[in-house]
Structure 1
Amino acid sequence: MPIHIASRRRSAASLASAFPGARIIDVTSKAQQPWVRMSPFYPHGDIPVPFSGGAVSQSVEGIWQALKVFEHHDVDPGKLRITSMHGLKRTVRTNGPVLGHREGLTGARLLPYEEARRQIFLPAYRWVLEHRVADLVAELRAADGDVVLLDYTVNGDVTDTTSALSHAALIALYAQDRWPTA
């Protein structure tokens, strides 16, 4: 069951040429049901917020953005409640440079980017894969032939902080029992 990752921005012709006969599945927030459920923006609800004593979020992206700390703004618990898949992002343009991610909503420690990926994003996203989209993971594992997952980024290396981490790459790693270590 080979699972490949490709940019959602590629044309259908380019994808068909590069992956002949493969099943192409968009897993971004722009995807159709049921695959949109694999987006970190999707509001599954009750996703545990790491290091936060029982606090929960609607989405994984809500957790990631809520715990982000900027020069001019600390955590934003309001991001945990967003169900629209819009209005989640917090930017340096309005908040100043990113200082790190807080280790929990009230934690004293700021985690650097790679550590935040490992301690916040990976556990939250894995929880979704195991508790909210296990049916879709099972479908990928049972696929007959190649599958291509579309995402806006293709970086599947947690240590490569030069570009955003691809959740599609994480899906592929999880489905192939190769999840990154913490």
Structure 2
Amino acid sequence: MKNHLMALCVLSVAFISGCSTYATNRYSISADNVVALKNVAGNKVAVGAFGATTPGVSSIMCRGVGPIKTPDGESFENFVRNALISEMKIADVYSDDAGVKLTGNLDKIDFSSASGKWTLGVTLNSSNGNSLSVTEDYEFTTSFYGETACNQTGQALMPAVQNVITKLVSNPEFTTLVN
């Protein structure tokens, strides 16, 4: 009986003190990125696999309060890959069987919920031998309070990814990747 009571107490404490999970928003295209893609891509482009310096990560712990996760539990590198594909599809420059194929690497992904900043580094490699690397330091409003800060951190990933894609597709060197 004593063991059952102890187990019930432990389960009750775990249930009451459980942690939150902060899912990021689904990716939403940027009109500016679509326009930039339409202006630089002369041909259709395919997108292959994306790797990462730390592959397969789909969550990052925030202040011990709970993890920041992608909306569908996909890895962060696939979140960025799928965001790029979405932008390219709307710009009508994407094709699975295009002659030029981009692959990528998520070189860095990290955040500070204290200072309010996501840092993303991405490298795109083209099947034509060219590559392009960019880094985005996306700043957002944060809070001293952990629950609020982690929620704001989760909400800030999607615009941070939009900005890193903007840096890629607006870079003059991007045309050397896709043409």
Normalised by the size of structure 1, how large is the TM-score? Answer: 0.28
Normalised by the size of structure 2, how large is the TM-score? Answer: 0.28
> Which protein has the bigger strand share?
2
